[in-house]
Amino acid sequence: MRRAHRRAARLISLLAAAGLTATATAATPATAVSASAAEEPARYVAMGDSFSAGSGVWPPDRSAPAICLRSTASYPRIIATTTGAVLADVTCGGADTADLARAQYPGLVRPQFDALSEDTDLVTITIGGNDSNVFVGALLACAAKGATTAGYGNPCQRWYGSHFHDVVRSTTYPAVRQALTDIHARAPHAQVAILGYPWILPAQEGCYTKMPVARGDVPYLRDLQATLNGVIAQAAAETGTTFVDLSEASEGRDACAPAGTRWVEPVLWGTSAVPVHPNALGASEMAAEAMRVLGL
């Protein structure tokens, strides 16, 4: 019933803007109710990992469990503030798809699915990057291999080959697909959007002094991220979920770009306590792109 009233209020608002309700309003002044007063704010649930939580972006959310490294300037917070939505923010740094259904930190962080209900209107999520520790693991592994060649060649690709890509396709993809299916089941009336990950490395060369990855391994890791975003997009398409593709918007704004341009902070010489994560500009632009795609 509440949703029916909300839809009616939105229709009244549109008709009023077009001047189509003037006669009815004049005829029944005692019963006229403004659309702005009748319409309830959207119920918005923000879910996901550190890219959703805004980990490292100042200021931190003092009301959240400290271990989640949640920010009050994350992209979900910006969306909620801009749209006037009532936000339930359950994002938490380090979360993977399993942490949606289980307590990530028992006694401290409840399963993120607990925030969903039939009354939920909007859900956003960034998830998958921590599954099987594959993406962070690949970055660390490639950094270690790069150190052995002083940043030259492609030692990481030669050592690991397709291993990381295979794990993303065989493990991350079905886990993200199932997570999105479960979100729709728990919030059947909600618009659900999953964001891809903005570029962390450029297509070529890299910046070894800031991102210690051998030059030849930069395209290898870039392709791994493209594979990750690709399976997320596939899972979204198969579950009726909106996919917010950040690849074009974040091109040239990776961790090797200069401060003020980059969306993601580098491992060294960055400005965030949480490297290889979006900075304040990145969070703001992720919010803007999500709102554009969602029509908010």
> What is the C-alpha separation between 42 and 107, in angstroms, rounded?
29
Q: How many helices (H) and strands (E) does the chain have?
A: 11, 5
The CA–CA distances, whole Å, from 121 to 6, 41, 102, 200, 226 equal 11, 9, 23, 31, 30
| From 71, 74, 272, 277, active-site residue | 277
Which residues, in sequence order, are bridge partners of residue 86?
Answer: 43
Is 50 assigned a catalytic role?
Answer: yes
> What is the C-alpha separation between 179 and 126, in angstroms, rounded?
11
| From 50, 55, 74, 250, active-site residue | 50
Q: Tell how strand 43-48 and strand 122-126 pair up.
A: parallel
In the block, tokens 């570029």 appear at 199
> What is the C-alpha separation between 219 and 228, in angstroms, rounded?
14
> What is the C-alpha separation between 55 and 264, in angstroms, rounded?
11
Is 277 assigned a catalytic role?
Answer: yes
Active site residues: 50, 277
